[in-house]
Amino acid sequence: MTALFKTPKMPTPQQVAPQVTEAQERQEERLQAQEDLQKRQMAARQRARRRGGSRQLLASVRGGSADEKTTLGV
């Protein structure tokens, strides 16, 4: 009768299903990849802020507006 009132023991890692540990590893890899992506995006934004002004100044050199006509005779 006392077995009914005992608290269950924590299972050992060997008893835990291998699928659970594999799923945890995959989740950790996904989280790490997501953090790396966020770091790269943040660095790209900072780079764009630093160099954004010079690109806008040279916009007419790169192509200008779509209304410009560059054909001869028209």
Instruction: Say how many domains are in the chain.
Output: 1
Q: Model pTM? A: 0.48
| Residue 22 CA to its chain's centroid (Å) | 22
Residue 71 resides in a domain:
no
pLDDT tens per residue, range 20-68: 888 889 999 999 999 999 999 999 999 888 877 665 555 555 555 555 6
Residue 14 resides in a domain:
no
Residue 25 resides in a domain:
yes
Residue 33 resides in a domain:
yes
Residue 36 resides in a domain:
yes
The pLDDT value recorded for residue 11 is: 78
> Which pair of tokens denotes residue 35?
């953090």
Residue 70 resides in a domain:
no
What is the span of the domain harbouring residue 38? 20-58
